Structures are given as structure tokens and as C-alpha cells.
Amino acid sequence: MSTNSYAQAIKDRIAKTKEPFVLADFYDLTNRVNVRKVITRLERSGFIGRIARGIYYKSKYNNFINEYVKPDPDLVAKAIARNFGWDIIPEGNAALNMLGLSTQVPAIYCYASTGSYKCFPLNDSKIKLYFKHVPEREIKNLSFKTALFIQALKTLGKIHINQKFTNQVRNLFTPKEIQKMKKEARYTTSWIYEYISTL
């Protein structure tokens, strides 16, 4: 593929995406040296912006607020995970909030990860993305809901789980989803699996 061909192919793929992206997303088109050159050129031209080290997004100007709109931090986190080959899942208050078990909106973005402990500050923002290493059995090969629920239980702690909470959980998950959780969570922390088994 000629220089013009792969450069245009990269630009065309970026034009179609709505999510942040990383260099590795284009290695099927050409080698990493060429990808880096094209991405650098597109960043300098203003066609794309950089939200964090190695993480880019398609520039989109909002006339109402008179500035370029940054992508959703959760999508940035997923791009980072894709870049390193990690599996991630929201943890802490974010996990509880996403399941509807809490109305508290998280002030920071924290993720349980199969990768290492990392913090990524986003450019021109006070937002930071934190990645906390957890055993693979808590994330890998689990459905999103099972992995998210495991993180929610870890956040609450065994002491805060009561009948009222259990009733709330049974209203959030279908019988089919609960059966799936029972099957998938058998290798997680013993008290968490024991609790899921009682649902």
C-alpha cells in the first residue's frame, strides 16, 4: 500500500469513528512507524486531538460553548485498555451507580484492571483515570454485568449486605442473569460467590 493510500485509509477510519482511538487500531493498515507519522501529521493539522498520552480523538467543535468537545472519559478508559490489552471494569461507586444500586455520581474514574496500577491524567482537564490491578478471575471471561456486580459487592463489603439489598438486587437482574452470575462467579472471592449463590 502506498503512502497516500494508507494515510487516506487511516484518515477515513478516523472520520467514521465516534470513539477515542490508539495507534494500535491502525496496525492492520501499515506498520507502527508509518501509523505514528500519519497520526502526528493529523494532530498538527487539527483533524484530531490528543486526550492523553497515546490516546487520540476526532476533533469536534461545539459552536455553543466555542470549544472542542472532549470524549467521554469512560470511552477514553476503554481505549487505554485496548491499547495495553487489558480487561477493565468500573469499580467503586461507579460500579454501584451503573447497576442502579447507588445514586452517588463518582467524582473520579476508577477501574479494576487485569493490567498494572496506572493513573492517566487527561490533557487540559482535572479528570484522572485510575486503573487498579485485580486478579483475572474477577474480570476475564465474565459477562459485563457479572464483573460489574463483583466490583459492586467488593465496594459495599460483606457487612453492608442485608435482605433489603438482596431484594433490590433481585429486582435488578432477571432469573437468567442471576443463573449466569452463579456460573461465572465461582472462582471469585469466596464470600462473594457464597452470596451470589444464595440469590
Q: How does the average pLDDT of the chain come out, rounded?
A: 88
Q: b/e for 52-70, b at 16 or more Cβ within 10 A?
A: bebbbbbeeeeeeeeeeeb
Identify the CA nearest to 69 among candidates 5, 18, 25, 22. Answer: 18
Q: Are residues 135 and 109 in the same domain?
A: yes
Query: Could you give the C-alpha distances from 99 to 31, 46, 114, 128, 137, in angstroms and in order?
Result: 41, 38, 21, 22, 20
The model's pTM: 0.79
Three-class SS of residue 66?
Answer: coil
Give the strand pairing for 128-133 and 109-113. Answer: parallel
Q: Are residues 112 and 31 in the same domain?
A: no
Length in residues, the chain: 199
Identify the domain containing residue 33 by its residue range.
3-68
pLDDT for 79-99, tens place per residue? 999 989 999 999 988 898 888
Cα–Cα distance, 129 to 91 (Å, whole number): 12
Return the percent helix, strand and coil in the chain, to nearest 5: 50, 15, 35
Query: Could you give the C-alpha distances from 41 to 29, 34, 106, 157, in angstroms and in order?
Result: 17, 11, 36, 49
Three-class SS of residue 128?
Answer: strand
Question: Which residues on adjacent β-strands are paired with residue 68?
Answer: 61
Q: Are residues 106 and 193 in the same domain?
A: yes
Cα–Cα distance, 57 to 62 (Å, whole number): 15
* pLDDT of the residue at 93: 86
Considering its fold, how many domains does the chain have in total? 2
Cα–Cα distance, 9 to 38 (Å, whole number): 10
10-residue stretch averages of pLDDT, the chain, 199 residues long:
81 90 92 94 91 85 65 89 92 88 78 93 80 91 93 92 90 92 92 94
Q: Are residues 107 and 189 in the same domain?
A: yes
* pLDDT of the residue at 66: 64
Q: Are residues 82 and 167 in the same domain?
A: yes
Q: Are residues 33 and 88 in the same domain?
A: no
Tell me, what CATH number does 10's domain have?
A: 1.10.10.10
Q: Which three cell numbers stand for residue 1?
A: 500500500
Query: Could you give the C-alpha distances from 129 to 93, 110, 198, in angstroms and in order?
Result: 14, 6, 34
